[in-house]
Amino acid sequence: MQAATRLEALGGHVVVAGDFDADPDAASLRFWTGRQSLHGVSVCYRDAWACVHPGEPAPTFTPDENPLVADPDWPFRQIDHVLVRCGVHGGPTLPIRACRRVFDDVPASDHYGLLARLG
């Protein structure tokens, strides 16, 4: 929550991306995407994958496909996210033009990456 509060104080465009260790329905992602407040604080970021691929999962951590995943019992499959801050009227401040999974042909780590084209 402190990171979100600090980011909200910044002007301009804000993109938050990385390994959240949480699927899209987790409380932490519900907070970031404006679907749940936390201690009276509310922010709204658009998930790039969900924007481009509504209703489709983005398996970035999946033992079925990636031989480098060391914890096959981990319950979440989409734990990496690219989030773009929304403006006053609810849309992202940067247009989300594309989002795709990368490094899935030759895994570089136990996570696949997400690449978003913004602007």
Report CA 43 to chain centroid distance, whole Å. Answer: 14
pLDDT grade, residue 43 (50/70/90)?
Answer: very high
pLDDT of residue 112: 85
Higher-scoring residue by pLDDT: 74, 116: 116
Q: Provide the whole-model pTM.
A: 0.88
pLDDT of residue 106: 76
Please report how many Cα atoms fall inside a 13 Å half-sphere around the Cα of residue 59, on the Cβ side.
Answer: 9
pLDDT of residue 41: 92
Structure confidence by residue, pLDDT tens digits, 54-108: 999 888 888 777 787 777 777 668 889 999 999 987 789 999 999 999 988 877 7
Nearest in space to 19 (alpha carbons), one of 29, 10, 27, 9: 29
pLDDT of residue 1: 78
Structure confidence by residue, pLDDT tens digits, 5-20: 899 888 889 999 999 9
Distance in angstroms (rounded) separating the CA atoms of residues 47 and 51: 6
Distances (CA, A) of 84 to 7, 17, 36, 51: 11, 9, 17, 10
Q: Is residue 80 within 8 Å of 111, Cβ to Cβ?
A: yes
